Each structure stands twice: as C-alpha cells, then as structure tokens.
Amino acid sequence: MPRPPRAWAPAVRHFFGTLTGRAVLVTTATALVSVIATTMVAVPIAIRSVNTQVRTELMNQTVLAVELLTDERPAVRARIVDRLRAEGVEIYLIRNGRADRAGLPPRLVRRVAAGETVDVRGKVSGRLSFVAARPLPGRAGGVVLTRKVATNLAARVLGGVWVALVIGLAGGVLAGTVLARFMTRPIARAAAAATRLSAGDRSVRISRAGPSEAARLADAFNQLAAALQTSEGRERDFLLSVSHELRTPLATIRGYAEALADRVITGDDTAGAGATMLGEAQRLDRLISDLLVLSRLEAADLPLDVTEVDLAELVRDAGRAWAARCGADGPSLTVEAPGAPVVVHTDAGRIRQVLDGLCENALRVVPGGAPLILAARPSAGGGIVEVRDGGPGFTDDDLAVAFERGELNRRYRGVREVGSGLGLALAARLVTRLGGRITAGHAPEGGAMFTVELYRPRTMG
C-alpha cells in the first residue's frame, strides 16, 4: 500500500515555493557549502601544522636530552626518561652500535651510531611514530626520541566542525529570513496595490522606498496605474462622445418616423422626410463602420492589400472626386502633384480612405472660398501626402491630442461643427499599420495641415 502523505508535507512544499523559503534554502545551502569547503581546506592544513609542531618540539627535546644524558649519574638519567615519558615521548640510547632496548628499526640504529642527526616518521615497536635522534658528543652513540603519531587527529579536528556547521546553518536560516523579508516587502506592497487596482481603485500608488529595484518596480506600477486611469478617462469621454453622436441621428430618425406614423407628414413632404432619414441613417452607418474598423485595427486583423502605389495619381483621383463635393459655395480645392510618379509601398484603398476622412473633416469646418489643398511630393524615403486648409485650424495643445479618439470632439462640441471624433484616430491607426507616419500641424494657409509619410517599395538585393 502506498504510504499516505505526511500532514506537514503540503506546508513544507508551500513554504519552499515562496520567495522567503527559497531565500532561506539558498542562504542555508551557501552556509553549508562554505563550511564543508572550509573544512576540506582547513583540516589538512591543521593536521600538517600539528605534525610539524610535534616534530619541531621532538627535535628540540633531543637537544635537551643530549645535554642531560651526558651526566653519568643514573638518577639524573632516570628523571629525564620519566619526564619525557610523561609527555608521551619514548627515549632510546644507542651505544656501540646497539640500542638499549628493542623496537627501533636496525637501519635507524646504524644511522645514529654513524653520528647522523635524524628527523623522520616511521614504525617503532609496530606503531607509526615521529623519530628524532642526535649523536652524543664525544661518544660512539646517540639518543633517539619517539612519539606516537596521533591517528585520531583528523577525527578530533572534524569533531569541532559540527559546531561550526550548526552555527553556519543557523546563520543561513537567519540571514535567509532577513533577506527574504527585505526582498519580499516591496513585492508584497505591489501585490496589495495590484489587488486594489483590480478592484477599481485607480488612485492607488506605491512609495519608492527600498533598493533601486524596488523603486523601479514602484515607478513601473505607478506609471501603469496612471496610464490606466488616463485610458479609462479617455474611454469614458469617448463613449460619451459616441453616445452623443449616435443619439443625434437616432433622435432625428425617430422624430421623422413618428411624424410619418402619425400622418403629420404627408404628400410632398414625405420625400423630404425620407431623404433626411436616409442621410441620418448613412451618418450612423459611417460611425458604425469607423468603430468596426478601429476595433479590427486594434485587434491587428484588418486585411491590407499592399502594392506599389503612385501617390501623385492617387491624389489627383481624390481631387477629382472631392471637387464635385466642394461645389460653388464650398472651399477652393487645389491639387498639387508632380508630373513624375511618386511610388510607395502601401494599400491604395486605405490611403484613399485616410484622404477622404481628412477631406471630410476639412469640408465640415473650412468656410466657402477658403483654400483646401491636396498635395503629393517625393521624399528621401518614399513619398508624402498633405491635406492643408484655410479653416480655423488647431492650437498647439490640440496638436498634441489630435489623434486621440474623441478628444477634439470633446473640446469643440458646441463651439463649431464636429464629427464623431473617430476620423483622425482611424487615420492615424491606418497609417501606422501601413508602416507610415502621420502628423498634424499648422498650414501655411492658416488652417490645419496633415502630413502622411509613406515609403518606397523594398528592393531585393
């Protein structure tokens, strides 16, 4: 049977799934690795240092032993032997080529008898020992001191590592906890602010306290909240503008429809009422079409037919179409187009849609007889189309928001005749989708000027 999960297992998994848990895990693992690495380096050094110290002390003791053993008194020699043995040192005397007792390797005895000073490590009486020997002055022999090599030295050194290991782990847990608290505080603030933002509080902001990363997070969140607040305000104004634009033709259509239903309008007046209703219905249709095109542009699925287009010919065609609409009482339409082709890579139908929208806006506000110019000219990167007029134009503040949906409609509603507020936004998005650029400015004729810059076809090299 499978073993049932421990009751605490989910809590442990959850803890180590958090930033705090991972910070504690990383710092603890770092402390553990540091202790182990330090131990691996320090233990051999410590053992080597202890052995070197023991051998040095043993050689120094041979000097003392040689000086004291020159004394022929047995009591003195006995005290020397007892003192050294109390320190774990065995003493051997070499005389006439023989040791006073068994245990020393014969080769070592021969070397000491030959007058050599010896500092080695080898087996004495079957035990690994440090061996130090000096010849006795003026005598055929010498003194040999041995001290057993501590075989448990590494174990004793490692035994002290556990204390350092426990301290390191405790320090890692503590450092991880403090670090995680320091790191997660700005994230927790951002999460709480995001919750309030998603609940509809657009005024929420985060303080820039903490390290530079936390300050950047706060700046990014605050910019997002401000942009969302601005966007929603514009959406609200746009919806108000669209609802107003929808209500006006609907009210007209409804009024005429009620008049026809109540037989208030009869006879010859019926045709006029029908024409008015048709015009308002067409106005509604254009508004709905603009809304649909805008939504498809923002969804990036608007079909485009990009080919080589002659802007000069396109402007001349648009001029012929709008000349009839300007009429005798309308603006004075002029077309400025070079004789040579101005070829760019774009969608002719969409650019014509942009030109028609700009001309329709101009026709609404430009007084009779004032200039309306459609122009095309080549540029360094391709070609430029301009629509200029002698109408009321824009202020500098207007130019900054000219392509925002409904912004100019909101500013000038009730001041002068305005459209739905979608035309310029639609033109800007269409040109952008086609890889071009549209700008608004002041025309030399005194009114508004819109410049559409498009580019030449790409050549294959």
Residues facing residue 91 across a β-bridge? 145
Q: For residues 113 and 97, is the Cβ–Cβ distance under 8 A?
A: yes
9-18, 22-31, 138-147, range with greatest mean pLDDT? 138-147
**Per-chain mean pLDDT for the chain:** 77
Torsions phi, psi for 211 (to 5 deg): -65, 175
Q: Are residues 217 and 325 in the same domain?
A: no
Q: Are residues 234 and 292 in the same domain?
A: yes
CATH code for the domain in which residue 278 is found: 1.10.287.130
Residue at a domain's end among 262, 279, 297: 297
Q: Are residues 318 and 446 in the same domain?
A: yes
Q: Are residues 430 and 333 in the same domain?
A: yes
Q: Is residue 52 in some structural domain?
A: no
Q: For residues 116 and 135, is the Cβ–Cβ distance under 8 A?
A: yes
Considering its fold, how many domains does the chain have in total?
Answer: 2
User: 193: which 2 tokens?
Assistant: 């602010």
The per-residue pLDDT for range 111-150, each reduced to its tens digit, is 888 778 888 888 887 788 888 888 877 666 788 888 887 7
The Cα–Cα gap between 229 and 227 comes to 5
Q: Is residue 177 in some structural domain?
A: no
Q: For residues 439 and 450, is the Cβ–Cβ distance under 8 A?
A: yes
Q: What is the pLDDT of residue 461?
A: 36
Q: Are residues 230 and 350 in the same domain?
A: no
The mean pLDDT value for 357-371 works out to: 86
pLDDT category at 69 given cuts 50, 70, 90 is: low
User: 300: which 2 tokens?
Assistant: 């990036």
Residue at a domain's end among 297, 315, 345: 297
Q: Shortest CA distance to 419 belongs to which of 427, 410, 428? A: 410
Q: What is the 3-state secondary structure (H, E, C) of the chain?
A: CCCCCCCCHHHHHHHHHCHHHHHHHHHHHHHHHHHHHHHHHHHHHHHHHHHHHHHHHHHHHHHHHHHHHCCCCHHHHHHHHHHHHHCCEEEEEEECCEECCCCCCHHHHHHHHCCCCEEEEEEECCEEEEEEEEECCCCCEEEEEEEECCCCHHHHHHHHHHHHHHHHHHHHHHHHHHHHHHHHHHHHHHHHHHHHHHCCCCCCCCCCCCCHHHHHHHHHHHHHHHHHHHHHHHHHHHHHHHHHHHHHHHHHHHHHHHHHHCCCCCCCHHHHHHHHHHHHHHHHHHHHHHHHHHHHHHCCCCCCCCEEEEHHHHHHHHHHHHHHHHCCCCCEEEEECCCCCCEEEECHHHHHHHHHHHHHHHHHHCCCCCEEEEEEEECCCEEEEEEEECCCCCCHHHHHCCCCCCHHHHHHCCCCCCCCCCHHHHHHHHHHHCCCEEEEEECCCCCEEEEEEEECCCCCC
pTM equals: 0.47
Q: Give me Rg for the CA atoms of the chain.
A: 50
Q: Are residues 433 and 363 in the same domain?
A: yes
Q: What is the pLDDT of residue 138?
A: 67
Q: Is residue 170 in some structural domain?
A: no
Q: What is the pLDDT of residue 277?
A: 82
The Cα–Cα gap between 298 and 185 comes to 37
Range of the domain at 222: 212-297
Residue at a domain's end among 265, 297, 329: 297
The Cα–Cα gap between 322 and 312 comes to 15
Residue position matching structure tokens 């240092």: 49
Residue 391 has pLDDT above 50, yes or no: yes
Q: Is residue 366 in some structural domain?
A: yes
Q: Are residues 395 and 353 in the same domain?
A: yes
Q: Are residues 274 and 228 in the same domain?
A: yes
Q: Is residue 13 in some structural domain?
A: no
Q: Are residues 256 and 356 in the same domain?
A: no
The mean pLDDT value for 243-269 works out to: 76
The Cα–Cα gap between 290 and 273 comes to 26
Q: Are residues 216 and 327 in the same domain?
A: no
Q: Are residues 259 and 323 in the same domain?
A: no
Spacing of C-alpha 341 from chain mean position: 48
What's the residue count for the chain? 461
User: 439: which 2 tokens?
Assistant: 């700008």
Q: Shortest CA distance to 354 belongs to which of 436, 237, 461, 443? A: 436
Q: Is residue 259 in some structural domain?
A: yes
Residue 8 has pLDDT above 70, yes or no: no
Q: Is residue 389 in some structural domain?
A: yes
pLDDT category at 13 given cuts 50, 70, 90 is: low
Q: Shortest CA distance to 20 belongs to which of 169, 181, 170, 175? A: 181
The mean pLDDT value for 322-331 works out to: 79
The mean pLDDT value for 12-16 works out to: 58
b/e burial code for range 275-310 (CB count within 10 A of at least 16 → b): eebeebeebbebbeebbebbeebeeeebeeeeeebb
Euclidean distance between the first and final Cα of the chain, in Å? 71
CATH code for the domain in which residue 343 is found: 3.30.565.10
The per-residue pLDDT for range 141-175, each reduced to its tens digit, is 788 888 887 766 656 666 666 676 677 677 767 77
Q: Are residues 318 and 287 in the same domain?
A: no
Q: Is residue 355 in some structural domain?
A: yes
